[in-house]
Chains A and B, each alone.
Chain A
Amino acid sequence: MSWLYDWWISLAQALGLPEAFQYPFVARGVVAILMLAPLLGGLSHLVVARRLAFFSTTLGQAALTGLVIGVATGQALDDTYTAILAFCLLVGVVMVYVRRQTTLPPDTVIGVFMAFTLGLGICLLVAATRRFNIHQIEAVMFGSVLTITDHDLVLVMVLGAALGIVVAFAYNMLLTDSLSPSVARARGAPTTAIDYGFVVIVTIAITVSLKIIGALLVEAMIVVPAAAARNLAHSTRSYLVWSIVLAAVAGLAGLFISTAWRVPTGGAIVLALSVCFFISLPIGRWLRR
């Protein structure tokens, strides 16, 4: 990975950026953002089209519970990916199952799971603080470039590429199913597999992003780019491009704000994303005049 860091450091020097932006941990953060933007930005427009925006909030809270379960079962505090991924996958799959079995609106079912994961997480967290200092999990909850390792970046790169290929392969079916499951089913699309499969893809994408953006704020990275892009886009193609560009721009802006003013990276990225959204509102109105 060192060539990527060297590339950023030489670019930062060429752009005349302050020395703080040339530190190795900032270089790692930049590389991570540039990897996450296509993944989360690319998924975001499908998440919004499938009305799963609320679901990513549930996963963020499930990640907290997964983290505590991981620590309680003996995993190292800085290596709880397995427990977080397992618990989030369990919550996602059970939620889709329940949603398919009931006539309740999807947001009501997601709300029930959100309440459940939050309640369980808080109870377990209080029990777990007897074993470790609660401040140690701040990095996972709020994200921090300081905690990104080469291992994390390789994970993001490999899983991001794999998920990207799967989504690209199934994209047309996924979007048809998002627009009308009946039309997709008639066309022979495996709508049940799509329903479960997409939730698994989103869960994996969110889990690998936790260290950078944080569990509580990861939902913003998967919802706000699409919300802002929708104001600017006139087609599916431009929707995808805008979602990725806004995720990348806001991610880098948040990283620089975080480095310059020493605020949590996740919070800074979400603030930058929110600014993008509010700027996109009047631009969108102007474009549609």
Chain B
Amino acid sequence: MSGGNAIELTRVTVRRDRRVVVDDASLAIAAGSIHVLIGPNGAGKSTLLSTVLGETAFEGDVRMHFRGAGTVAYVPQSFVADRTLPITIAEFLSLSRQRWPVCFGITRASKRRVAALLEQLGMTGMERRRMGELSGGELRRVLIGNAIEPAPEVLLCDEPATGLDPAAVEQLDRLLCELRDTHGTTVLMVSHDRAQVRRVADQVTLMQVRIRQTGTADAVLDQAELA
């Protein structure tokens, strides 16, 4: 793990319809670490993630410190694209991997990258499957694949394990740790899966509108279970 913080939030408050959904949150995410946000539904975890992404208006300060090109990737909690839209997996993954318009065709370089990525995801040969035909778990794997290649500097994941079978969750954990260890990617993730949190998290933050506790996975989860 390299030194310094990749993401710093200082006294961040988010209001929605006059209701405070994140209250006075200050948090420092170390560069090259996996930091997991946990807490009950409505605790403000996804809102905090979308604040870091720049999608939500807030009071306070959010800073990201990049060492390289400043690439950020995001795995959304839900993907509400029209399921009847005729777009194949290869076309979807090529959207961010080639400059040539995807509607005119997929470049050879992009085809190679997509094939390698699908192999990594355990989806070999599924290039021509339409996105709308995928199961929830398959769609989530494609979204994860889209986010992890090329390795981003910061990866934001909103409950990435939702809909995945246990084997796929373990594969996801391996991918996240590999990103951190090999590429120094900083991962900020929301998760409800305690086993996954114990397996991958370097730091865990317990939220309940306010930040209740930040520490190692064991310390925060044990405290949360006691509470």
Contact = CB atoms under 8 A, between A and B. Distances in A.
B118 to A, nearest CB: 16
A155 B84 CA distance: 35
Given A176-B96, A235-B87, A188 B82 contact: no
Interface in A160-183: 168, 171-172, 175-176, 178-183
Interface string B49-78: 010011100000000000000011110100
B146 A183 contact: yes
Contact of A236 (B81, B91, B98, B99): B91
A233 interface: yes
A175 B81 contact: no
Interface stretch (B19-27, B100-108, B173-181, B218-226): B100-108
Nearest to A170: B101
B53 A236 contact: no
A186 B72 contact: yes
Interface in B189-203: none
Interface stretch (A133-141, A215-223, A237-245): A237-245
Nearest to A189: B96
B211 interface: no
Contacts of A176: 95-96
A83 B76 CA distance: 42
Contacts of B72: 186-188
How big is the B interface, by class?
35 or more
Given A186-B74, A236-B88, A238-B86, A175 B95 contact: yes
Interface in A89-133: 103
B206 interface: no
Contact of A183 (B54, B76, B102): B76
A237 B103 contact: yes
Interface residues of A, number: 27
A185 B103 contact: no
B72 to A, nearest CB: 5
A179 B101 contact: no
B85 interface: yes
B132 to A, nearest CB: 10
A172 B86 contact: no
Contact of A186 (B73, B98, B99): B73
A28 interface: no
B119 to A, nearest CB: 21
Contact of A175 (B99, B102, B147): B102
B53 A172 contact: no
A237 B99 CA distance: 15
Contact of B104 (A186, A237, A239): A237
Interface string B149-178: 000000010000000000000000000000
A171 B101 contact: yes
A182 B96 CA distance: 14
A287 B86 CA distance: 13
Given A182-B50, A185-B54, A230 B104 contact: no
A71 interface: no
B115 to A, nearest CB: 16
A235 B82 contact: no
B85 A183 contact: no
B82 A172 contact: no
6 contacts: A172-B102, A175-B87, A183-B146, A186-B72, A186-B147, A235-B130
| Nearest 9 A/B pairs, CB to CB | A186-B74, A171-B101, A233-B86, A240-B103, A179-B81, A172-B95, A236-B91, A186-B72, A176-B95
Interface of A: 49, 51, 103, 168, 171-172, 175-176, 178-183, 185-188, 230, 233-240
Given A182-B50, A182-B53, A238-B86, 12 more contacts: A172-B95, A175-B95, A176-B95, A176-B96, A179-B79, A180-B76, A182-B74, A182-B76, A186-B53, A186-B147, A188-B71, A234-B88
